[in-house]
Structure 1
Amino acid sequence: MTNPVRNAPAGFHEGELAVQRQAGVAQDAARLTGMLAPAQLRGGVSRFLAERSFAAITARDADGGLWISPLTGPPGFLQIASPTALDVRTLPAEGDPLLYLAVHQPVALIVVEFATRRRLRVNGTLSAADRDGLRIDVEQAYGNCPQYIQSRHLHAAPVTAPGVEPVRRGSILTPDDADLIGRSDTFLIGTTHLTRGNDASHRGGPPGFVRVEDGRLWWPDYWGNNMFNTLGNLNVDPTAALLFCDFATGRTLHLSGRAALEWTRTGIPGDDDRTGRRVHFLPQHLVAGRLLPLQADTVAAAPDNPPLTDRPSAQ
């Protein structure tokens, strides 16, 4: 595994700029460059982190595989150690592919408050890890818009005892895996860049917005903030990781593989938000289990979810 060069120049990298230009939003995106400035964990960012109970981390396992995994705890498990350091007072669950994390590697967090549709990205370097948790030296921290976040009130749920429901590892999606993906209205995606490190992001839409065909996945890209952090990374490195969570049961599906951006004709079936973009994903490794100790009893769909356009009911 090659570690990215840290302290790269601020601003958008070549992959992000290329996607912005092809999408015709380069000028709009340029106005957001200041969001990528070095982070200071103060004020509203500090308060937001202190109150959260859910995050997801993008990192590499001992074999160099990229994964994105849930991190959960009571409010306060994300603790500001300094204006540029964040302590995470928990670890991934037993059986999670990122349970044992090597330090001095780039990592990224996406911290989500589903109930109020708020999210924050945190990018940096893992500087310490022990049985009590992680420390991240933070380089970037910025919020994203509430678009496509389904509203849920998460609460603590019993954790399945080790061995009662074994964690399954493999490389091929089962019918149960495909069913979970097909029912999902949310997933988290991790990507990477050689010099800028890792990224963690949220994707949401109506159930069925992620399609499963012949063991592969694809989903339409939606209109967003025009930064294209995820697609920009994929433009230069296809390595990607997905996390699907069944918030009713705590079941999780981790996928690690390769993704590619496809530009299509605008408005074809499946181009649900009429962007002319979709992402294809080939799973290469998977981990499935019941690794999320949080549940939600109800869900309210995001008001901006576009309808599916490749189903009979949408005709």
Structure 2
Amino acid sequence: MNPSALPGQPHAEDPFHAGERELQARAGVRERLAEIGRRVIRDHMPDQHRELFGKLPFLVAGSLDEAGRPWASLLAGAPGFVTTPDARTLRVGALPQPDDPLARQLAVGQPLGLLGIELPTRRRNRVNGRVRALDAGGITVAVEQSFGNCAQYIQARSPLPRAAPPREAPARVEREGARLGERARALVAGADTLFIATAAAGGADVSHRGGRPGFVRVDERGGRTVLTLPDFRGNHFFNTLGNIALHPRAGLSFVDFERGDLLLLTGRAQIVWDGPEVQACAGALRLLRVEVEQGLWLASALPWAWSAPEPAPQLQATGTWEAPHRS
């Protein structure tokens, strides 16, 4: 449906905060985005977004810990575990694992960024809001912003059932420090998909990034692991980078699609605007660099395996890093 035909913000003010506006101006799209944003960023979920959320087997959640560090977590359940009682309320019928940072951050009034992404069809929609209620069965979120994202850079995959660990044997949790272990580095270096959480202006947000396997570069610098990923052409909203401009931190989540394991990382973030590094990765307009501070490996956190990926067509115009960089 043509976005201009959909109801948008019920008020006249610009929905973008100062960091997003700054980056839009730098990219030369500020005036155009000011008008588009009022049409496509809503204070409620349109019916097609509600329909998508109801079909999903997992939901990505972005939150902030007590130190102001973002984390990107995944909540999973049988399709139908996410419901929308009305256009301004989203209900998640699941809770994070006890060791997931999201479990410590959940409280009424806390901001949450949510991403619904249907990998087989490459559909994705975003909801940003605040926790309205918590109970033993899940989380109720009051919607403050709702908007769609395009299907670019999403690798299509379909969920396949796999044997879940016994109920009395919860997922194994291993902690990662500022220097990632070999298994974590291997997962990141071979990833074609990640989820990134950021925060600014009192809210939280989470988004998707995709590329050819190897699009995330893994370096070791001063005893820390540093991850560098290209920022490809997108919708020019600059939600993620605009947040980082104001609050230079990010949380990254990587999925082992064969085993259902999750790697959750958080660290300091910076934007690399130009120079030889940007030119070294085909398709990159700029780079995002994250210096890891800590992380968690959650084994068997997702109850499925996934089919082999069908690469997004946009990847034909993108590249990877030719060799690791160490300093």
TM-score by length of 2: 0.86
For 2:307, which of 278, 297, 303 is the aligned residue?
Answer: 297
Cα distance in 1 for residues equivalent to 2:18 and 2:67: 28
For 1:194, which of 186, 201, 208 is the aligned residue?
Answer: 201
Change (3 A) 1:309 1:174: closer
Give the equivalent residue in structure 2 for 1:181: 188
Contact kept in structure 2, 1:95 and 1:167, CA below 8 Å: yes
Cα distance in 1 for residues equivalent to 2:51 and 2:117: 13
Q: How far did 1:54 drift?
A: 1.7
Contact kept in structure 1, 2:61 and 2:115, CA below 8 Å: yes
| One-letter identity of the residue aligned with 1:287 | L
Give the equivalent residue in structure 2 for 1:129: 134
Secondary structure at the aligned position of 1:226 is classed as coil
Q: Does 1:58 align with 2:62?
A: yes
Cα distance in 1 for residues equivalent to 2:237 and 2:86: 27
- 1:3-42 matches, within 5 Å, as 10-35=14-39, 37-42=41-46
Q: Does 1:118 align with 2:123?
A: yes
5+ unaligned residues in a row in structure 2: which ranges? Answer: 1-10
Secondary structure at the aligned position of 1:29 is classed as helix
| One-letter identity of the residue aligned with 1:238 | P
For 1:210, which of 209, 216, 224 is the aligned residue?
Answer: 216
Cα distance in 2 for residues equivalent to 1:244 and 1:279: 16
Cα distance in 2 for residues equivalent to 1:32 and 1:309: 32
5+ unaligned residues in a row in structure 1: which ranges? Answer: 1-6
- 1:1-315 matches, within 5 Å, as 10-35=14-39, 37-61=41-65, 65-100=69-104, 101-161=106-166, 166-171=172-177, 172-195=179-202, 197-214=203-220, 215-265=225-275, 268-275=278-285, 277-290=286-299, 291-305=301-315, 306-308=317-319, 310-311=321-322
Number of residues of Structure 1 aligned to a counterpart in Structure 2: 303
Quick one: percent identity of the two aligned structures? Answer: 35
Secondary structure at the aligned position of 1:30 is classed as helix
Structure 1 residues 157-189: Cα deviation after superposition (integer angstroms, max 9, x where no partner)? 333356576311132301111100011100000
| One-letter identity of the residue aligned with 2:319 | L
Q: How far did 1:73 drift?
A: 1.2
Change (3 A) 1:165 1:11: closer
Q: How far did 1:10 drift?
A: 4.4
TM-score by length of 1: 0.89
| One-letter identity of the residue aligned with 1:228 | F
| One-letter identity of the residue aligned with 2:291 | L
Cα distance in 2 for residues equivalent to 1:63 and 1:20: 29
Contact kept in structure 2, 1:32 and 1:227, CA below 8 Å: no
Contact kept in structure 1, 2:272 and 2:278, CA below 8 Å: no
Q: RMSD between aligned alpha carbons?
A: 2.2
| One-letter identity of the residue aligned with 2:242 | G
Cα distance in 1 for residues equivalent to 2:88 and 2:187: 37
Change (3 A) 1:270 1:169: same
